[in-house]
């Protein structure tokens, strides 16, 4: 957050940053709702109330816009997740539920569309692969911290990784139907199993 | 497998069945390679070496063809999986590895394209939802049998479900890159955790 004085000094820069943020948020919403084939720079610009020219000034290509959008929202989610547990490691069941929640909202839906499109489009593939690795490492770091997992113990790293794979699979199971009732039971059971495994 | 006598009696029916099978296999390969937007009845007919008319005789709509294809290949995979362990429950690590393998090949890739397309296309959505539920139930049944899991014990059902969600998540992690080295370590660790949890 900038002070009033700073804001007066650089109002143009602030407006530009706000426009960028509007574009990124519109891009994620658009991907989640319409998939890759229905998501173009023009559609996003209109949704964000920004001219196509201004959108292209910020993001020269469609690939730039959508990879930046998924990365931006993933960072926002990471920050929000850490803020939920400000004093670090917390009750395992609450942490497990919050981590699983990362994979059941519009961000996961948007990222899934991007991944699947990237698997058939070479232009997108390298960038999404790199993005996925970066976001995956950060999510793993947060999970280790909040679960209070000691990765120096054999098997702990793989336990956390497998749990995050499970969270991703639960996200996929929620794509076409509301899977929340089943998910809640699975999460309760696996929170107990993780509790035992992580000690 | 039919006997020679039966085959002579109904050669036309056999040819029709063989054509149908070729179309189904070509449809799954096409979906896995080109995604939903690149998969039409014409493309599949050409790949299968079948006329477009013949293809439409078997599958009047694009939705008919691709949902039938994913179901057919899923059934083939289930049969093959049961055949791997003919005497029922087997060493947990081998069963866990075989179940995870279900989610890392072309079938999973094809199914993923179909799911993601269905999330944005109403015509496809209801059919894929129903198909996913049916295939999911069958996979769960096989997993319970081969893992020798006693679902009358509290938590066992959710333990198996969560493991299958993890397998699905591992499939997703394999979409853009070869994740097999990491996956092997995760599977080894989770096979041990399952062993303890299932007793």
Helix (H, G, I), strand (E, B) or coil at A40: coil
Site of tokens 């599949």: B44
How does pLDDT run across B148-190, given as a tens digit for each residue?
Answer: 999 999 999 999 999 999 999 999 999 999 999 999 999 999 9
User: What is the crossing angle of helices B92-101 and B122-147, to 10°?
Assistant: 170
Nearest 5°: the CA angle A94, A164, A148 is: 50
| A47 contacts chain B (CB < 8 A) | no
Q: What is the pLDDT of residue B14?
A: 86
What separation, in Å, do the N-terminal and C-terminal C-alpha atoms of chain B show? 39
Nearest CA in chain A to B30: A120
Give the closest of A113, A118, A170 to B165, CB-based: A170
Dist. CA A15–CA A147, nearest whole Å: 39
The answer on pLDDT for A199 being more than 90 is no
Q: What is the pLDDT of residue A88?
A: 81
A179: its two tokens: 């899977």
Cα–Cα distances (Å) from A162 to A30, A190, B71, B171, in that order, read 30, 11, 27, 12
Q: Looking at CA atoms only, how far is residue A56 from chain B in angstroms?
A: 26
Residues 90-129 of chain B with CB under 8 A from chain A are 109, 112-113, 115-120, 125, 128-129
B84: its two tokens: 């791997």
The answer on pLDDT for B1 being more than 60 is no
| A151 contacts chain B (CB < 8 A) | no
Q: Looking at CA atoms only, how far is residue B188 from chain A in angstroms?
A: 9
Q: What is the pLDDT of residue A2?
A: 52
| Mean pLDDT of all residues belonging to chain A | 92
Q: Looking at CA atoms only, how far is residue A119 from chain B in angstroms?
A: 6
Q: What is the pLDDT of residue B31?
A: 94
Q: What is the pLDDT of residue A9?
A: 61
Band of the pLDDT at A4, cuts 50, 70, 90? low
The answer on pLDDT for B5 being more than 60 is no
Q: Are B169 and A169 in contact (CB under 8 A)?
A: yes
Instruction: Find the range with the poorest average confidence among A3-7, A70-74, B64-68.
Output: A3-7
- What is the b/e burial string over A84-121, where b = at least 16 CB atoms within 10 angstroms of the residue's CB? ebeeeeeebeebbebbbbbbbeebbbbbbbbbbbbbbe
| Mean pLDDT of all residues belonging to chain B | 92
How does pLDDT run across A148-176, given as a tens digit for each residue?
Answer: 999 999 999 999 999 999 999 999 999 99
Which residues contact residue A121 at a Cβ distance below 8 angstroms, ignoring those fewer than 6 apart?
A: none
The secondary structure of residue B120, as a DSSP letter, is: T
Q: What is the pLDDT of residue A60?
A: 95
**What ranges make up the beta strands (E) of chain B?**
none
The secondary structure of residue A88, as a DSSP letter, is: S
| B173 contacts chain A (CB < 8 A) | yes
How does pLDDT run across B16-35, given as a tens digit for each residue?
Answer: 899 999 999 999 999 999 99
Band of the pLDDT at B3, cuts 50, 70, 90? low
Cβ pair A186:B165 closer than 8 A: yes
Range of the structural domain that residue B151 is part of: 4-198
Name the phi and psi angles at B46, rounded to 5. -60, -45
Q: Which of B108, B190, B196 to mutate to test the interface with A (most CBs of A within 10 A)?
A: B190
A36: its two tokens: 């890759």
CATH at residue A92: 1.10.357.10
Cβ pair A116:B175 closer than 8 A: yes
Band of the pLDDT at A3, cuts 50, 70, 90? low
Give the closest of A171, A177, A197 to B129, CB-based: A177
Cβ pair B175:A35 closer than 8 A: no
Dist. CA A139–CA A155, nearest whole Å: 18
The phi-psi region of residue B79 (left if phi > 0; otherwise alpha if psi is between -120 and 50; otherwise beta) is alpha
Band of the pLDDT at A29, cuts 50, 70, 90? very high
| B193 contacts chain A (CB < 8 A) | yes
Name the phi and psi angles at A158, rounded to 5. -70, -30
Total number of domains constituting chain A: 1
Nearest CA in chain A to B126: A176
Name the phi and psi angles at A110, rounded to 5. -65, -45
Question: Of B114, B123, B9, B15, which Cα lies nearest the Cα of B72?
Answer: B114
How does pLDDT run across B106-142, given as a tens digit for each residue?
Answer: 899 999 999 999 998 888 999 999 999 999 999 999 9
Residues B36-56: what's their mean pLDDT?
Answer: 95
């Amino acid at each position: 957050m900038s002070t009033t004085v700073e804001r007066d000094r650089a109002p143009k820069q602030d407006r530009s940053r706000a426009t960028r943020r509007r574009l990124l948020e519109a891009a994620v919403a658009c991907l989640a709702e319409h998939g890759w084939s229905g998501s173009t720079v023009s559609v996003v610009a209109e949704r964000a109330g920004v001219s196509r020219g201004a959108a292209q000034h910020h993001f020269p290509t469609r690939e730039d816009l959508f990879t930046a959008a998924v990365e931006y929202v993933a960072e926002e989610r990471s920050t929000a997740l850490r803020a939920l547990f400000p004093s670090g490691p917390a009750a395992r069941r609450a942490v497990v539920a919050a981590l699983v929640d990362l994979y059941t909202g519009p961000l996961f839906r948007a990222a899934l569309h991007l991944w699947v499109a990237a698997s058939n489009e070479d232009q997108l593939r390298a960038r999404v692969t790199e993005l996925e690795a970066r976001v995956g490492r950060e999510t793993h770091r947060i999970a280790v911290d909040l679960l209070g997992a000691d990765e120096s113990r054999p098997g702990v790293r793989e336990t956390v990784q497998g749990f995050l794979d499970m969270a991703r699979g639960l996200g996929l199971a929620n794509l076409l139907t509301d899977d929340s009732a089943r998910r809640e039971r699975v999460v309760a059971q696996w929170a107990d199993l993780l509790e035992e495994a992580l000690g």
